[in-house]
Amino acid sequence: MEFTMASFLSRFFKFGSQNMAIDLGTANTLVYVQDRGIVLNEPSVVAIETINGIKRVKAVGDDAKMMMGKTPDSIEAIRPLRDGVIADIEIAEEMIKHFIRKVNGKRTSMFSPPEIVICVPSGSTSVERRAIRDAASNAGASQVYLILEPMAAAIGADMPVTEPVGSMVVDIGGGTTEVAVLSLRGLAYTTSVRVGGDKMDEAIVSYVRRHHNLLIGEATAERIKKDYGCAMVPADGIGETIQIKGRDLVNGVPKEITITQANIAEALSEPIGAIVEGVRIALENTAPELAADIVDQGIVLTGGGALIQGLDDYLREETGLPVSIAEDPLSCVALGTGRAMEDPIYRGVLMTA
């Protein structure tokens, strides 16, 4: 990195203030601290306990996710951003505050308050953006900047976003898939599909129920998806065999069944088809000059959903374009948000509201 007086001074003045970049995802929240990198990576889940009609936060993040599907009636595990919009702003704010406090430890009292950059879905409304900004201010930020999620994903994936070259990023998260065409620090086109990893989990739950009368929880479905999920039927038409435990819908007792990876591909075909459709619509709406660039640059996949086996090949087949998976798809947005905060070349992509 080039060492200039200006960069030295900006570093000097920021010393100790713990500036942070936050990827507030529907499934996972990651916090990047200036000059340190990603220091927190936990599920976007809050467990709320109600006692005598009064609600209080029982657990946040990893601890809260472990409670999902296993809570007694008095405790509810909530994902405040579940479908990509802020379903519950108060709980989202509690979650942001909890994570910031966890990263800060006791430091806030000793140093100046931090600047915070938070990424927001490109489809979020101005009301939602203001709510997120206020939540970060309430949590103690001196200044809050926002960055659009696909822009952060593209920066994190080392795409040429500052150049006059069109490129496409597809970020497949838990609640949504964001498809965007970027050029010259801006989003030339963006669309958000309300389909992501959650819909894939639900598709597995419903496949197993329909074909085997077996009821399984979403956590079990997610595990199966991560271990065996695939976008195409395996070459031998079967793939691996999978044992699944759950509750029999007919007689109510626990039982175990066996299905194949090909069955999982069949179950996932609908949500994956919806993601491919989103990409197709984005391509149809891209200006010709930028579309020509995408033929060369190809499509880059980010987000946890990019890890589904064979999704890149499937998208390549469906679009005829080069498709690659970012190096660390689950961290891309946090890394990109962090870089946008640290590197002046990206200053133009930060927004104040």
Ligand X SMILES: Nc1ncnc2c1ncn2[C@@H]1O[C@H](COP(=O)(O)OP(=O)(O)O)[C@@H](O)[C@H]1O
Interface contacts to ligand X, rule CB under 6 A: 25-28, 173-175, 197-198, 222, 225-226, 229, 303-305, 307-308, 330
For Mg ion, the closer CB: 173 or 229? 173
- The strand pairing partners of 78, in sequence order, are 46
Find the part of the chain contacting Mg ion (CB under 5 A) among 21-29, 44-52, 223-231, 342-350: 21-29
* Residue 222, binding choice from Mg ion, ligand X, none, Cβ under 5 to 8 Å by partner class: ligand X
Distance (Å, whole) CA 141 – CA 237: 54
Q: What is the dihedral of CA 96, 99, 104, 109, to 10 degrees?
A: 50
- The strand pairing partners of 116, in sequence order, are 20, 144
Are 324 and 312 spatial neighbours (Cβ–Cβ below 8 Å)? yes
Using CB atoms within 10 A of its CB, is residue 167 exposed (0-12), middle (13-18) or buried (19+)? buried
Tokens matching residue 95:
């979650």
Counting contacts by CB under 5 A, is residue 25 touching Mg ion? yes
For ligand X, the closer CB: 290 or 308? 308
* Residue 141, binding choice from ligand X, Mg ion, none, Cβ under 5 to 8 Å by partner class: none
Total site size for Mg ion, rule CB under 5 A: 3
Cβ–Cβ contacts within 10 Å for residue 213, how many?
15
Among 43, 84, 114, 173, binds Mg ion (CB under 5 A): 173
Nearest alpha carbon to residue 28 among 168, 190, 198: 198
For Mg ion, the closer CB: 239 or 329? 329
Q: How far is the CB of 302 from Mg ion (least distance, A)?
A: 8
Q: How far is the CB of 27 from Mg ion (least distance, A)?
A: 7
Are 27 and 123 spatial neighbours (Cβ–Cβ below 8 Å)? no
Q: How far is the CB of 323 from Mg ion (least distance, A)?
A: 19
Find the part of the chain contacting Mg ion (CB under 5 A) among 165-173, 254-262, 283-291, 307-315: 165-173
